[in-house]
Amino acid sequence: MTTGTTTSTPPVRRAEAEDPRIERWTATDPTSGAVLGTVDASAAGTRRTDLARPGEVELGPATALRGDATLPALVTAVVERARARYAAGVVVDTTAWADGDRRRLEAVGFVGGDARGAAVRTLDLTLAEDGSPTRVLDNPAMASLNGHHARFAERRGEIVRYRTDVSVWTGVPERPTDADWDDVAALLGSGAVLGVRPTAALPDGWTTVESAGGVQMTGEAITGAPDPEAVELTPDDVPEVLELIARTRPGPFLPRTIELGRYLGIRRDGRLVAMAGERLHPPGWTEISAVCTDDAFRGQGLGRRLVLAVAHGIRERGETPLLHAAAGNTNAIRLYEHLGFRLRDRGASTFVRVP
């Protein structure tokens, strides 16, 4: 690695390594253009080793980080990119690192000695401004697709979406660049509608779409409870699931949505009459979705029971349930609040149409 001194953080460009799952970030001297150093990082959710967990970015190897002048800038670049993609954290094994290099990591906020070993240093990127571990919920689709749901992702640049037969969600950076908007248009196509953060400044020709809006609710206080009548639904049940969805209209459900998580249903006389399941999966969280009951069976508490049964499975994995609801669906919101979910102000989306 060539070393050098710069007065500011060197520009970092992104390039693909031979393995498309691996990202390579290269820093260059702004004056001479010389390469100062390179960091390889596993794309979150498609890691090279067992060190990183889904949603984390692995920084390394140590041999790519030699050079006193470039290490701080390269580490900062990795952290900034990981934060921009709503990763849960950055993790690095510092076994072969010099003490001075470890101290540089700790100065950025890395801590060591978690369950993965004394030499592992991690930086938690999930903390919101209020200190709660909810930042990944500001962009739950991006956090899911760069983590647990990476296998369902379609990407162009920094834009990522679910495959069109899986889900309608798209992940867009908090403050998209002109290049990001071009990638949105190329990936989704003219006329597509997507949600973006309120901080996103629309380019010329892009328009907002009127929407009643939605709410995001988190279930830190939810423990859940198994339900003896609930049965696990499989891909073989999808035709019947789609029929129930068409009758009850809880929101989009596509042919492969059932692959995103565990879906439970209740049958009466062999007919599926109620269901709920798991959709988005940001690190540490799982969304409860597709909560619906046939009109003929409303008022029997089936939806409440299924929400608690799905939440129980989420809690059994050590994760926390969340859900989204249309702002106008006051009955559902009251039910969720009664169960112990709380409204979360952050995470509101603005819906825009691709010109």
Query: Looking at per-residue confidence, does 211 or 123 come out higher?
Result: 123
CB 277 within 8 A of CB 290: yes
pLDDT at residue 185 in the model: 97
Q: What is the DSSP string of 260-276?
A: GS-EEEEEETTEEEEEE
- 23 token code pair: 């990202």
pLDDT digits (tens, 9 = 90+) for 3-19: 333 335 555 555 544 44
Q: How confident is the model at residue 44 (pLDDT cuts 50, 70, 90)?
A: very low
Q: How confident is the model at residue 100 (pLDDT cuts 50, 70, 90)?
A: confident
How far apart (Å, rounded) are the C-alpha atoms in residues 111 and 113? 7
Structural domains of the chain in order of their starting residue, each with its CATH number: 12-124 (3.40.630.30), 135-212 (no CATH), 218-344 (3.40.630.30)
pLDDT at residue 58 in the model: 82
Token match 């500001």: residue? 138
Query: Looking at per-residue confidence, does 348 or 104 come out higher?
Result: 104
Backbone angles phi, psi at 101, to 5 degrees: -70, -40
Closest among 58, 69, 67, 68 to 25, alpha carbons compared:
58
Q: With a cut of 70, say whether residue 21 has pLDDT above it.
A: no
Q: Which of 10-14, 66-70, 88-92, 262-266 has the lowest mean pLDDT?
A: 66-70
* Cross-sheet strand order for the sheet of 285-293: 231-232, 263-268, 271-278, 285-293, 320-326, 214-218, 342-344
Q: Cis before residue 282, ω within 30 degrees of 0?
A: no
- 323 token code pair: 């859900």
* Half-sphere exposure (Cβ direction) of 353: Cα atoms closer than 13 Å: 9
Helix (H), strand (E) at residue 213: none
- 127 token code pair: 């903390």
Closest among 108, 82, 74, 89 to 173, alpha carbons compared:
82
Q: How confident is the model at residue 41 (pLDDT cuts 50, 70, 90)?
A: low
- 224 token code pair: 């859940």
pLDDT at residue 66 in the model: 44
How far apart (Å, rounded) are the C-alpha atoms in residues 252 and 248? 11
pLDDT at residue 37 in the model: 58
Task: Using alpha carbons, list the distances in angstroms from residue 156 to 147, 172, 182, 184, 332.
Answer: 17, 11, 10, 8, 36
For 175-301, where are the alpha helices, taking DSSP H only? 178-188, 238-248
CB 355 within 8 A of CB 204: no
How far apart (Å, rounded) are the C-alpha atoms in residues 258 and 169? 15
pLDDT at residue 33 in the model: 67
Q: Which of 69-73, 210-214, 307-311 has the lowest mean pLDDT?
A: 69-73
Give the Cα-Cα-Cα angle 199, 353, 163 (nearest 5 degrees).
95
CB 277 within 8 A of CB 293: no
Q: What's the mean per-residue pLDDT of the chain?
A: 85
Q: How confident is the model at residue 34 (pLDDT cuts 50, 70, 90)?
A: low
pLDDT digits (tens, 9 = 90+) for 112-157: 877 888 889 999 999 998 899 999 999 999 999 988 998 999 999 8
pLDDT at residue 18 in the model: 46
pLDDT digits (tens, 9 = 90+) for 226-282: 999 999 999 999 999 999 999 999 999 999 999 999 999 999 999 999 999 999 999
Closest among 307, 247, 250 to 271, alpha carbons compared:
247
pLDDT digits (tens, 9 = 90+) for 155-171: 998 899 999 999 999 99
Residue 22's region, left for phi above 0, alpha for psi from -120 to 50, else beta, is: beta
Helix (H), strand (E) at residue 208: strand 207-208
- 272 token code pair: 């599926």
pLDDT at residue 109 in the model: 92
Q: With a cut of 90, say whether residue 43 has pLDDT above it.
A: no
Q: With a cut of 70, say whether residue 68 has pLDDT above it.
A: no
CB atoms within 10 A of CB 260: 24
pLDDT at residue 7 in the model: 39
Q: Are strands 214-218 and 320-326 parallel, antiparallel or unpaired?
A: antiparallel
pLDDT digits (tens, 9 = 90+) for 290-347: 999 999 999 999 999 999 999 999 999 999 999 999 888 899 999 999 999 999 976 5
pLDDT at residue 2 in the model: 29
How far apart (Å, rounded) are the C-alpha atoms in residues 53 and 45? 7
pLDDT at residue 10 in the model: 53
Q: With a cut of 60, say whether residue 69 has pLDDT above it.
A: no
Q: Is the dihedral of CA 254, 259, 262, 268 positive or negative?
A: positive
Q: How confident is the model at residue 39 (pLDDT cuts 50, 70, 90)?
A: low
Mean pLDDT computed over 180-209: 93
Task: Using alpha carbons, list the distances in angstroms from residue 165 to 87, 153, 189, 247, 262.
Answer: 25, 11, 16, 20, 17
- 283 token code pair: 């690190």
